[in-house]
Amino acid sequence: MRDLGVVLAIDDFGTGYSSLAYLKRLPIQILKLDLSFVKDIESDEDDAAICAATIALAHTLGIDVVAEGVETGAQRAFLADEHRCDMLQGYLFSRPVPAPDIEKWLASQPQGL
């Protein structure tokens, strides 16, 4: 699949039917950390520990991590600066943008976004 350019991601990791076994059995390249863990990392030690451990586990397995639902600078700092999360998404950066407007939105952003 990778030779064909297919990128496989697990969405909402840590909730529902997602399983650690998927990380072993499937050719996962991206793991999306569910926003239910991200939203309270500033106030809930368990959520912070789950986020940190999930990022570390994924990186050990050579998997990139996307954190969903990033809304505050403190969440961004915890995930990106302290735990080297690969990608962040959420309202801190932008509300959803219609596909035709993406290029215009990107051009209006500071370099490095």
pLDDT (tens digit, 9 = 90+) per residue, 65-103?
Answer: 999 999 999 999 999 999 999 999 999 988 888 888 888
The CA-based dihedral angle spanning residues 84, 92, 36, 87, taken in that order and rounded to the nearest 10 degrees: -30
Widest CA span of the chain, in angstroms?
Answer: 43
Element (H, E) at 55: helix 45-60
CB 41 within 8 A of CB 54: no
pTM of structure: 0.82
What pLDDT was estimated at residue 16? 67
At 37 the pLDDT is: 92
SS3 40: coil
% of the chain exceeding 90 in pLDDT:
56
| Domains delineated in the chain | 2-107 (3.20.20.450)
Distance of CA 44 to the CA centre of its chain: 18
